[in-house]
């Protein structure tokens, strides 16, 4: 009788644990609720830890959905005034001095490094939905910096995507991927990312301090800081035009 009761308790306890664990799709939806932006204006700082020293670059960004983004670099003086405009799958870069010209970047060139950092042009402007881009499977749980995390494996739903698969460690409380490994279709590890600090604003958790490491680069990684962000904005359409690059 005691064995039967013990077995019954184990079954009940296991059922409760399963009921408390959301599906992989529900986890991705919660990440999207935190990370995907309708409209926002933000200021940020990149610290690039290169092989011969560190560089700090500050910028201001405007974004609307996943198709529209404008980034203006504020410092250092050498980079100040440089702008990037993303519309759908194309990106334009404006360099004020000494060339005063606009160049177009598209296709595989979008995966190149931005100003020697560990972030690509796609990384900088990405605002895509995980649930729309990936299928997901829960592998288990692990602890990352004293935070309980679900471990998920993601596989791309389409071919034209920067990272064919990802392994992510998602904070079970805040629903942010505290750690990621991003892979090519061949299985080669391309990039590692970590969220080191988060903050809560307008009812959502958002990254404050991140680090990116391009595994194909010999640099020491790039730290990325969100200095400020405003989600409650209305950005005029002209901000995302080529004419705005020279304003």
CA distance 48 to 52: 11
Inside any domain, residue 73: yes
CA distance 14 to 50: 49
User: In the chain, how many domains are there?
Assistant: 1
Inside any domain, residue 119: yes
Inside any domain, residue 3: no
Given a contact cutoff of 8 angstroms between Cβ atoms, the answer to whether 175 and 205 are in contact is: yes
3-state secondary structure (DSSP) of residue 230: strand
Q: How many CB atoms lie within 10 A of CB 95?
A: 15
Q: Which residues pair with 170 in a beta bridge?
A: 150, 177
Task: Kindly state the average pLDDT of the residues 49-59.
Answer: 93
Inside any domain, residue 12: no
pTM summary value? 0.89
Task: Give the single-character DSSP code of 15.
Answer: H
Inside any domain, residue 6: no
pLDDT of 78 > 60? The answer is: yes
CATH number of the domain bearing residue 129: 2.50.20.10
pLDDT at 18: 46
Inside any domain, residue 149: yes
CA distance 178 to 156: 20
- Sorting pLDDT into bands at 50, 70 and 90, what band is 4? low
CA distance 167 to 137: 10
pLDDT of 11 > 80? The answer is: no
- Sorting pLDDT into bands at 50, 70 and 90, what band is 104? very high
Task: Give the chain's largest Cα–Cα span.
Answer: 86
Inside any domain, residue 216: yes
HEC readout, 33-62? HHHCCCEEEEEEEEEEEECCEEEEEEEEEE
Domain of residue 141, residue span: 23-246
Nearest alpha-carbon partner for 132 in 204, 40, 28, 33 = 28
Q: How many CB atoms lie within 10 A of CB 94?
A: 20
Instruction: Give DSSP secondary structure letters for 186-200.
Output: TS-EEEEEEEEEEEE
Given a contact cutoff of 8 angstroms between Cβ atoms, the answer to whether 243 and 70 are in contact is: no
Task: Encode pLDDT of 114-173 as tens digits.
Answer: 999 999 999 999 999 999 999 999 999 999 999 999 999 999 998 889 999 999 999 999
Inside any domain, residue 59: yes
């Amino acid at each position: 009788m005691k064995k039967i009761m013990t077995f019954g308790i184990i079954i009940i306890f296991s059922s409760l644990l399963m009921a408390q664990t959301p599906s992989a799709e529900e986890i991705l939806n919660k990440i999207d609720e935190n990370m995907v932006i309708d409209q926002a204006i933000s200021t940020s700082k990149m610290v690039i830890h290169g092989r011969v020293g560190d560089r700090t670059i500050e910028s201001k960004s405007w974004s609307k959905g996943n198709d529209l983004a404008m980034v203006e670099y504020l410092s250092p003086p050498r980079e100040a005034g440089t702008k990037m405009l993303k519309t759908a799958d194309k990106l334009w870069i404006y360099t004020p001095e000494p060339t005063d010209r606009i160049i177009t970047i598209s296709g595989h060139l979008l995966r190149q490094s931005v100003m020697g950092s560990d972030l690509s042009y796609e990384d900088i402007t990405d605002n895509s939905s995980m649930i729309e881009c990936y299928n997901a499977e829960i592998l288990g749980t692990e602890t990352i910096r004293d935070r309980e995390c679900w471990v998920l494996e993601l596989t791309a739903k389409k071919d034209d995507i920067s990272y064919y698969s990802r392994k992510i460690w998602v904070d079970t409380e805040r629903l942010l991927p505290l750690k990621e490994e991003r892979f090519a279709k061949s299985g080669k590890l391309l990039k590692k990312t970590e969220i080191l600090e988060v903050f809560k604003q307008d009812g959502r958790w958002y990254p404050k301090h991140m680090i990116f490491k391009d595994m194909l680069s010999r640099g020491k990684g790039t730290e990325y800081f969100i200095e400020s962000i405003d989600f409650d904005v209305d950005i005029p359409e002209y901000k995302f035009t080529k004419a705005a690059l020279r304003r």
